[in-house]
Amino acid sequence: MSLLRPLTGVLLGFVLGVAELAFALVAWPASRLPAVRRGLGWFLRLERARLARWLGHRAPEEAAGGFGFLVARGALGVAGGYGCAAGLFLAVLLVGGGLWDLVLGRAHAVPIELPGVKLITSSWALGLTGGVALLAFVAALALVVAAAERRLADRMLGPGTDELLRRRITELTVTRAGIVRAVDDERRRIERDLHDGVQQRAVALAMLLGRAKAGTARPDLVDQAYTEARQLLDELRSVAWRIYPTALDELGLRSALAGVAERAGVPVTVHYRLAGPPAPEVETALYFVAREAITNAIKHARAGDILVVVSEDERTVSVEISDDGRGGADPAGGGLSGLERRVLALDGRFTVQSPPGGPTRIAAALPKAAPCG
């Protein structure tokens, strides 16, 4: 069945190719006429249906295409289809003739002389052998023609320039809106950190100092105020670090990730394999992906061991974070969806694999050169 489908598709393409060439040669000079455009659209729809049904090629519904595609596809279809049809016809004749001689006993000896060799075989054996060999050739030719047609469709039947531009505008609009949402979400998180942590400690410190000023405090009140002040400073440093670590600008991504690993509270191994510093936007995105993934692994997945790998190839820089936690991370959750929007805004790819029970794998790959505009 795997050979029958492409062979059928190529043979149908032979018949359709004759009609396409005839239509293109006659109608191309009048290509602006509405009737001609409708005819062109009809042939293109037939081609998409044939490619999808018999050759396993899915062209988008909004696929472009024109007379150039019809001429190229028609020429390829006629040449390849004729070769397959002629070979199939000869193969059927040879196999049928050989079987006929074998069944009716009418076979006769056929001498075959080669340089230095002289063979004598039966006509039915020669017919069957030649027919089977020709069938194999036809099958191979059909596969080659089918592959050539798919490549031609990829090249000439893909989305047009206007459609590609429309898609790019839509993608940029969506990712820009996503970045705005991600920034708003981050601002809310900072506000919660300030309200629930820093502000509460500042209020407690003010109360202790007020009691000390009133002279109604216990003897250890100064010590309590000092401890509260130290904790307040730690909270402020923590919030500032979560907003944007100064080490990222001063020392680079490697040192910033090392700082994340030190503060994690669980073993975090960082493998840094970059030859040089990436673009600033890419470096920032990689840092926040790693930091958020580590935080989620500790806070939600109860991970006991985390591995961070930062690597690169010719075109992309990537970070992959894996842990041994209980899994079940939701890609649509606030933190991960914000990271995805940040990565997509830089034309990157963001993936989350976190089956229930673990392990979890979060990866982001970004182009080395950040997109402009």
- Give me the helices (H) in the chain, please: 4-27, 34-54, 67-104, 123-156, 161-193, 199-214, 221-243, 246-250, 253-263, 280-299, 334-345
Q: Are residues 255 and 130 in the same domain?
A: no
Question: Residue 132: what pLDDT?
Answer: 92
Q: Report the distance separating Cα 258 and Cα 254, nearest Å.
A: 6
Q: Are residues 264 and 361 in the same domain?
A: yes
Residue type, 273: R
Q: Residue 242's Cα: distance from chain center in Å?
A: 31
In a domain, 164, yes or no: no
Q: Are residues 154 and 256 in the same domain?
A: no
In a domain, 200, yes or no: no
Q: Report the distance separating Cα 69 and Cα 87, nearest Å.
A: 26
Instruction: Quickly count: other Cβ atoms within 10 Å of residue 296's Cβ.
Output: 23
In order along its 373 residues, the chain shows pLDDT tens digits of 478 899 999 999 999 999 999 999 898 888 888 888 888 889 988 988 898 889 888 765 555 667 888 899 999 999 999 999 999 999 999 998 888 888 887 777 878 777 777 777 888 888 889 899 999 999 999 999 999 999 888 888 766 556 556 666 666 666 665 565 656 566 666 666 666 666 666 766 666 666 666 665 556 666 666 676 766 666 666 655 556 666 677 778 898 888 888 888 889 999 999 988 888 888 888 988 898 889 888 888 888 899 999 999 888 999 999 998 888 888 877 678 778 887 887 888 999 998 888 889 999 999 887 554 4
In a domain, 108, yes or no: yes
Q: Report the distance separating Cα 136 and Cα 270, nearest Å.
A: 55
pTM of the model: 0.48
Question: Residue 326: what pLDDT?
Answer: 86
DSSP structural state of residue 194: I
- Picking from 159, 178, 210, the residue at the C-terminal end of a domain is 159
Structural domain count of the chain: 2
User: 280: Cβ–Cβ under 8 A, 6 or more apart, which residues?
Assistant: none
Q: Are residues 8 and 154 in the same domain?
A: yes
Q: Report the distance separating Cα 186 and Cα 342, nearest Å.
A: 12
- Picking from 159, 178, 213, the residue at the C-terminal end of a domain is 159
In a domain, 257, yes or no: yes
Question: What is the domain extent for residue 34?
Answer: 4-159
- Picking from 159, 181, 210, the residue at the C-terminal end of a domain is 159
Question: Residue 20: what pLDDT?
Answer: 92
